[in-house]
Chain A
Amino acid sequence: MDKLRVAVIGAGFIARVHIPSWKRIPGVELVSVVDIVEDKAKGYAEEFKIPAYYKDFREMLEKEDVDIVDICTPTYTHAEIAIESMKAGKHVLTEKPIALKMKDAREMIETAKKQGVKFMVAHCLRFWPEYVVIKRIVENGDIGEPRVARAYRQSGFPVWAPWHFDENKGGGVFLDMSIHDVDTLRWIIGDVEEVYARGGVLKEKKSTAYDYVHALLKFKNGAIAYVEGSWIQPEGYPFSTYMEIVGTKGALRVDNHETAAVKIWRPGQLPQDFTPNSEDAYYLEIKNFYEAVKYDKEPAVPGEEGLKTLEVVLAAVKSIREGKPVKLPLSEEVFA
């Protein structure tokens, strides 16, 4: 059987993670990489031995015979690229968040349906080992019904991707980073009905996008959660995550540093810790989408799920702007 032909759009941080995963799958041929900065596309093509590179994704869609488009571009560009690609008959994997606007997300979902192509949002935590285990523990009933959860996700400001400074491009820390915890909690606990959040631009004054947000979520089933996203950690602070869920019959928690399998101290440098895994989340995510396309299955995170998660993080931004709790579903867009 012929290999599935893949094009990666956007030659930035996340593409660097996705590309090696695509290359690991025997049934895939990575044929093209696209970036509006031509040198970046060219650089990735050379580094990863990808036969073709383009500056314009439309030109790529015209000239290349690809089956799958993997969108690794800034958030505000996802919708346009996804919809055009779907209209050209391509299956689409897009990075999270699905979009900045709910109407864009809905159009992406509808276009995929109309065109009969697979569409998945890359909520990678659904493949991340500790969260997969948490999901399994809760589904087993080991902690009873979830009642109260907490999640943190902390780092410095992502200055390496300057579009994050503009709230109309990236949406800020809650849209870009806490969306992981929100999606995971939704996946495990269920739908959210109300959101209150506090935060703003606390430290990175160049930014119009919020760099700190905490949110209190009320779930439909009566559970509550505290979700905190910080891009205001000091320079050199290691990326840190924490999640705990307490239910009627028990409690669980995981912290990425406490559970690290490897710690490295180098002279004069900050210590580094991590948990290597040859079947890492990005590989499993990409493999899942590949299999959805190849075997005509529903992908793990369909567009509808991406939209539901988007709505919760948008509600947090709305709550900060209005200074009061916000009920779901949202009646209007949050970003213009």
Chain B
Amino acid sequence: MAGKMRFGIISFAHIHAWSYARVLKELEEAELVAIYDDDPERLKEAAQKFNVKDIYSDYHALLKRDDIDAVIITSENAKHVDQAIAAAEAGKHMIVEKPIATTLEDADKMVNAAKKAGVKFQTAFVMRYHDATATIKQVLERGEIGEILVITTTNHGKYPDLWFGDPELAGGGSVMDHTVHTADLMRWYTKDEVEEVYAVSGKNIRDYLTVEDTGLISLKFKKGVIGSIDCSWSRPSTWPIWGDVWLGIIGTEGYIVVDAFRPNVDLVKEGERLQWVYFGSDCDKNMIADFIRVVREDEEPRASGWDGRQALEITLAAYKSIKENKVVKLPL
């Protein structure tokens, strides 16, 4: 494949789509050719912002084009499945936003469709591409803190609003939104699968939401590593940054803390609240650049569709545990 890799973006419903589009404009080896959205206003806004001429209100029409190599699917969680299967059948490589689906059946269908079509299926686990977490992967591989004993994690956030509070479109609340990133990092670091999940969710911080906005998860991996995830949307709207991805990794011979989005400049404008202005790694850019490399070199993505499926299973196990107030064994 010579020249630029030609991309389409399927929906700007997920806020991350806007950052991915920016990256596609910035990367030498990429070109944003066409975009789709089922919201005409949003489609128009994205087309203007990113100067894209080919706009679609039917994603099948976009997928029919022979001059598009790959798509990024950033619609509402529940809509991924149909779009991903259609993309695979159209022979497009794809990056799918996390969580890749809202049910395991959907995730399996997506993984199988990509496999059958022989296209690359990368899950947008941007945290595998963040330079902080990727550096620590190397530190762990070199055995610098011995064997991993415990991984404590948080993926806090503000309430993202939009459709994230819609149980149909999102498939859940904060547990659906914020479990998968650090669950995936734990799988990546331990090279192991989760055996057992227990989770709790309490009274909501925001009483107007119909989905949960708190969640605490306790995990055990097959080889014995203990993990935990705080996936709560527990940051007020006035918090200086959107949230965090934090990991404390206890090894037999050391301890590591990753606070991936801590590199920030403090900014206070007269009469306004403190803001943190980020200066850390551009994980979205790293992720898309690596996707292009993986497609060209015919390798497996660092975060595959299967990884997306496995992290979703942990999320669904957490919901089951919350509902039944019991420890849930995997696989489901």
Q: Which residues of A contact B255 (CB under 8 A)?
A: 233-234, 237
A214 touches B228 (CB 8 A): yes
Q: Which chain B residues lie closer than 8 Å to A225 at the CB level? A: 216
Inter-chain contact B202/A196, CB cutoff 8 Å: no
B202 touches A147 (CB 8 A): yes
Closest chain-A Cβ to B200's Cβ sits at a distance in Å of: 5
Asked if A12 CB lies within 8 Å of chain B CBs, one says no
Q: Which among A148, A212, A230 is the interface contact of B202 at CB below 8 angstroms?
A: A148
Minimum CB–CB distance from B213 to chain A (whole Å) comes to 8
Categorize the interface residue count of chain A. Answer: 35 or more
Q: Mark A257-301, 1 if CB is under 8 A from B, else 0.
A: 000000000000000000000000000000000000000000000
Chain A contacts of B250 at CB under 8 A? 202, 212, 230, 232-233
In the bound assembly, the distance between CA atoms of A218 and B199 in angstroms comes to: 11
Judged by a CB distance under 8 angstroms, whether A198 is at the interface is: yes
Q: A147-B205, A198-B198, A223-B202 are in contact. Are A250 and B236 (CB under 8 A)?
A: yes
- Complex: chain A residue closest to B150, CB-CB: A212
Q: Assuming A148-B234, A250-B236, is B326 touching A324 (CB within 8 A)?
A: yes
For residue B228, which residues in chain A have a CB less than 8 angstroms away from its CB? 198, 214, 226, 228
Q: Is B230's CB within 8 Å of the partner chain A? A: yes
Q: Is the interface of A mostly helix, strand, loop or mixed?
A: strand
Q: List, in ascending order, chain A residues with CB within 8 A of B19's CB.
A: none
Instruction: Find chain B residues with CB under 8 A from A250 CB.
Output: 236
The reply to whether A196 and B203 contact each other, CB–CB distance below 8 Å, is no
In contact, B149 and A251 (Cβ under 8 angstroms): no
Cα–Cα distance between A244 and B230 once the two chains are bound (Å): 12
Interface string of A203-217 (1 = CB under 8 A from B): 100000000101010
Contact among A148, A234, A324 for B214, CB-based, below 8 A:
A148
User: Which of B150, B202, B204, B206 lies in contact with A202, CB distance below 8 A?
Assistant: B150
**Known pairs A226-B216, A232-B250, A234-B253; A202 contacts B226 (CB<8 A):** yes
- Determine whether A74 belongs to the interface, using a CB cutoff of 8 Å to chain B: no
A199 at interface, CB cutoff 8 A? yes
Q: Which of B200, B203, B226 contacts A216 (CB 8 A)?
A: B200
- Is the beta-carbon distance between B200 and A196 smaller than 8 angstroms? yes
Q: Which residues of A are found within 8 Å of B205, using beta-carbon distances?
A: 147-148, 246-248
22 A-B contacts (beta carbon < 8 Å):
A147-B203, A147-B205, A147-B214, A152-B152, A197-B218, A198-B220, A199-B226, A202-B250, A203-B252, A212-B150, A216-B216, A218-B200, A219-B202, A221-B203, A228-B152, A230-B250, A234-B251, A234-B255, A248-B207, A251-B235, A251-B236, A251-B239
Q: Which 3 A-B pairs have the closest CB atoms?
A: A222-B203, A224-B202, A246-B234
- Residues on B close to A: CB < 8 A? 145, 149-150, 152, 154, 198-207, 214, 216, 218, 220, 226, 228, 230, 232, 234-236, 239, 248, 250-255, 325-327
Interface residues in chain A, defined as those with a beta carbon under 8 Å from any beta carbon in chain B: 145, 147-148, 150, 152, 194, 196-199, 202-203, 212, 214, 216, 218-219, 221-226, 228, 230, 232-234, 237, 244, 246-251, 323-325
